[in-house]
Amino acid sequence: MAAGAGQLAAANQPGEIVQQECVRISDKLGSVSMADCEGQDFIASPGISVQGAPILYREYPPLESRKPMGRVLLIGGIHGDEYSSVSIVFKWMQTLNIHHSGMFHWHVIPLMNPDGLLRQESQRMNANNVDLNRNFPMADWHNKTSEYWVKVTERNPRRYPGAEPLSEPESRWLAAEIDHFHPDVIVSVHAPHGVVDYDGPKDGPHKLGRLYLQLIGTYPGSLGNYAGVQKKIPVVTIELPYSGTLPAPVEIAQIWTDLVEWLRRNIKGKEFPVATVHDTDPS
């Protein structure tokens, strides 16, 4: 087993922190090699997990030759047992590394819940056993999340929303990052329902690859509720068919192609200054 998250804090240089986290990710995911991870020029964000693991991200910033149509926040691995949601983001980053044209300003977070994934037996929740996708704020949060958890899920521990909204460092950092980055669209990858879900103004994509639009609900405390309903930021949720198995390469490519085409037709960028957490070289 690779070094634990607590040991990451002992690294003295940002590069060492990223390298150690890449060791842990590549040890866990058969579809992500050490070279795949190290080659991404990740930045260790200020966000850390309960156990001290860094939340890595990659920026694909505007290019000098082109004003981007808008900002896109792409997130995988909010649920730690949905392996494919992390692996497919790495595959799409390989595409962006070659084809980033400046059409969009991308902010990519392949693994939002490192403690959930990178434990011996991966779990949906974070290290505090909180479902991060039920921990986001909303009006009357305590009553609505409690009622849903108790009456609908019958206290299913996999759906525990936490004691308070944004009680978890991971969800707290993501909420702050949304406020900082000002995304025009958020794309969140999950599994295994095999559909496209959508929350927000207007309409979501009808079809991404072989995945068709099927609204599966807006749950109390979810990212879709928080960003899509309350903040009016379109949230496209890609539900892959299987948690442990990636789609075929041709399907991975088709989902990406359809997503970019939908973004091109529907995104309407807001007039904000260019937002990056750290400077980085354009790909």
Contacts of 209-214 with CB under 8 Å at 24 or more apart are 209/247, 209/251, 209/252, 209/254, 209/255, 209/258, 210/247, 210/251, 210/254, 211/238, 211/239, 211/240, 211/241, 211/255
Residues 190-211: tens digit of each pLDDT: 999 999 999 999 889 999 999 9
| Maximum pairwise Cα distance, the chain | 54
Q: Where are the domains of the chain?
A: 57-266
Rounded to an integer, the average pLDDT of 3-18 is 56
Cα dihedral 242, 95, 103, 109 sign: positive
| Highest CATH level, class, for 57-266 | alpha beta
For residue 115, the surrounding DSSP H or E stretch is: helix 114-117
Q: Are the beta carbons of 124 and 116 closer than 8 angstroms?
A: yes
Q: Are the beta carbons of 124 and 153 closer than 8 angstroms?
A: no
Residues 149-158: tens digit of each pLDDT: 999 999 999 9
Residues 66-105: tens digit of each pLDDT: 899 999 999 999 999 999 999 999 999 999 999 999 999 9
ω into 192 cis (within 30 of 0): yes
Q: Work out the burial of residue 71: count CB atoms within 10 Å of its CB; fewer than 13 is exposed, 13-18 middle, 19 or more buried.
A: buried
> Which residues on adjacent β-strands are paired with residue 203?
none
Structure tokens at 257: 């192609």
Query: Is residue 217 very low, low, confident or very high in pLDDT (cuts 50, 70, 90)?
Result: confident
Q: Are the beta carbons of 120 and 56 closer than 8 angstroms?
A: no
Residues 15-74: tens digit of each pLDDT: 889 999 999 999 999 999 999 999 899 999 999 999 999 999 999 999 988 899 999 999
Neighbours of 91 (CB within 10 A): 19
